[in-house]
């Protein structure tokens, strides 16, 4: 079997067009991204997010702070953004430089402006099955699966990776869709035993080629969230040879990546609706 590719761009383009209409209807929506330091991968992500936000009509502010910025100075900036009437949505790009406590910064963002959905309050609402602001990448994966008619009810779904940004929220969304969820990680014994049982396999481990073709179930559905820069260019966590065994599989690049950006913009509209009381923020 050769897999059908689940491309992200067509669906992401549709979402971005709808978001642009919503932004136009609402009027001003302010999105501020904060990048501390000059990590090249983060710069690429921020540039893509800005381009998309600006194209959709957001008032997007690209705040750049030097790598020497103190934790206190960053927390002060975040407090200013929280208080600003011009700002609906705040995104602090991760990772932050080592001298800054990421958790402190994540907790400092007002939950209703937390466009990434990383604040413990948003994480908690998701955990309790009352999603408010949900991290963009897992939302993008769910949208892709839905578009391709993937049936999750009761299905064995395996999440490889347990990050706060992808693995954990993804597992919760799958659970809410009534999948039978297994979370695997770097300490998992016999990873292949789990991946081979997966009707739906989602990999976000950040290790190029971690999942070989032999680890994919015949006819399985594979979502590769990995984005690894290697000598061979940008590659995922799943060996592309798995295309021969899967029934549906995301390409890298061009799979999940475009969906993350589109869903981030959707979240920013949600933030704007919270601030305008068109939606009730649960917190
Ligand atoms: N670093 C890697 N992915 C993300 C993301 O989705 N949001 C933020 N803020 N930082 C990231």
Q: Which of 49, 114, 168, 239 is catalytic?
A: 49
pLDDT of 283 over the 80 cut: no
Residue 261 binned pLDDT confidence (cut-offs 50, 70, 90): very high
Residue showing tokens 């430089």: 97
160, 195 Cβ separation under 8 angstroms: yes
Q: Which of 93, 114, 224, 237 is catalytic?
A: 93
Pocket of ligand 1 (CB under 6 A): 91-94, 116, 136-137, 165
Q: What is the pLDDT of residue 143?
A: 98
Residue 104 catalytic?
A: no
Q: What is the pLDDT of residue 46?
A: 98
CA distance readout (Å), 170 to 48, 176, 190, 204: 23, 10, 22, 10
In angstroms, rounded to a whole number, what is the distance separating the alpha carbons of residues 214 and 241? 9
Q: What is the pLDDT of residue 251?
A: 98
Q: What is the pLDDT of residue 245?
A: 98
Closest of 6, 34, 66, 22 to residue 236, by C-alpha: 6
Q: What is the pLDDT of residue 115?
A: 98
Residue 187 binned pLDDT confidence (cut-offs 50, 70, 90): very high
% pLDDT > 90, the chain? 99
57, 48 Cβ separation under 8 angstroms: no
Residue 111 binned pLDDT confidence (cut-offs 50, 70, 90): very high
pLDDT of 183 over the 80 cut: yes
Q: What is the pLDDT of residue 224?
A: 98
Measured by CA distance, the residue closest to atom 1 of ligand 1 is: 94
Residue showing tokens 């706060």: 164
Q: What is the pLDDT of residue 105?
A: 98
- Domains of the chain by range and CATH? 27-111 (3.40.50.10860), 135-258 (3.40.50.720)
Residue 176 catalytic?
A: no
pLDDT of 201 over the 80 cut: yes
Q: What is the pLDDT of residue 65?
A: 98
Q: What is the pLDDT of residue 247?
A: 98
Cα(162) to centroid(ligand 1), Å: 15
Mean pLDDT (whole number) for 190-207: 98
Residue 49 catalytic?
A: yes
Compute CA 10 distance to the chain's CA centroid, rounded to the nearest angstrom: 17
In angstroms, rounded to a whole number, what is the distance separating the alpha carbons of residues 114 and 131? 13
pLDDT of 168 over the 80 cut: yes
Q: What is the pLDDT of residue 174?
A: 98
Mean pLDDT (whole number) for 198-218: 98
pLDDT digit string, tens, across residues 72-84: 999 999 999 999 9
Cα(93) to centroid(ligand 1), Å: 5
pLDDT digit string, tens, across residues 10-45: 999 999 999 999 999 999 999 999 999 999 999 999
- For 243-274, letters b (16+ CB in 10 Å) and e give bebbbbbbbbeebbbbbbbbbbbbbbbbbbbb
Question: What is the token pair recorded at 227?
Answer: 């984005």
- The closest-lying atom of ligand 1 relative to the alpha carbon of residue 116 is 7
* DSSP-assigned letters across all residues of 58-113: -EEEEEEE-TT--HHHHHHHHHHHHH-TT-SEEEE-SSPPTTS-HHHHHHHS-GGG
Averaged pLDDT score across all residues of the chain: 97
DSSP letter, residue 160: E
Q: What is the pLDDT of residue 62?
A: 98
In angstroms, rounded to a whole number, what is the distance separating the alpha carbons of residues 215 and 211? 6
pLDDT digit string, tens, across residues 231-260: 989 999 999 999 999 999 999 999 999 999
């Amino acid at each position: 079997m050769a897999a059908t590719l689940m491309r992200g761009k067509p669906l992401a383009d549709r979402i971005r067009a709808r978001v642009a209409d919503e932004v136009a209807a609402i009027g001003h929506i302010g999105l501020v991204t904060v990048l501390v330091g000059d990590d090249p991968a983060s710069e690429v992500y921020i540039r893509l997010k800005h381009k998309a936000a600006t194209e959709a009509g957001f008032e997007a502010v690209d705040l750049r702070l030097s790598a020497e910025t103190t934790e206190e100075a960053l927390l002060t900036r975040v407090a200013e953004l929280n208080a600003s009437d011009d700002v609906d949505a705040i995104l602090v790009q991760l990772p932050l430089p080592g001298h800054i406590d990421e958790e402190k910064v994540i907790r400092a963002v007002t939950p209703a402006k937390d466009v990434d959905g990383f604040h413990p309050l948003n994480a908690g609402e998701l955990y309790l099955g009352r999603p408010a602001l949900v991290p963009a990448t897992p939302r993008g994966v769910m949208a892709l699966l839905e578009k391709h008619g993937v049936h999750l009810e009761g299905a064995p779904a395996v999440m490889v990776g347990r990050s706060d940004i992808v693995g954990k929220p993804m597992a919760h969304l799958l659970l809410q869709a009534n999948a039978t969820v297994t979370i695997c990680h770097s300490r998992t014994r016999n990873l292949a035993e789990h991946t081979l049982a997966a009707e739906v396999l989602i990999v976000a481990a950040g290790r190029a080629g971690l999942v070989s073709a032999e680890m994919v179930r015949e006819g399985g559905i594979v979502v590769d969230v990995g984005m690894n820069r290697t000598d061979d260019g940008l590659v995922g966590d799943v060996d592309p040879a798995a295309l021969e065994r899967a029934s549906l599989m995301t390409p890298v690049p061009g799979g999940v990546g475009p969906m993350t950006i589109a869903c981030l913009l959707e979240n920013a509209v949600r933030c704007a609706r919270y601030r305008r009381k068109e939606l009730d923020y649960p917190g």
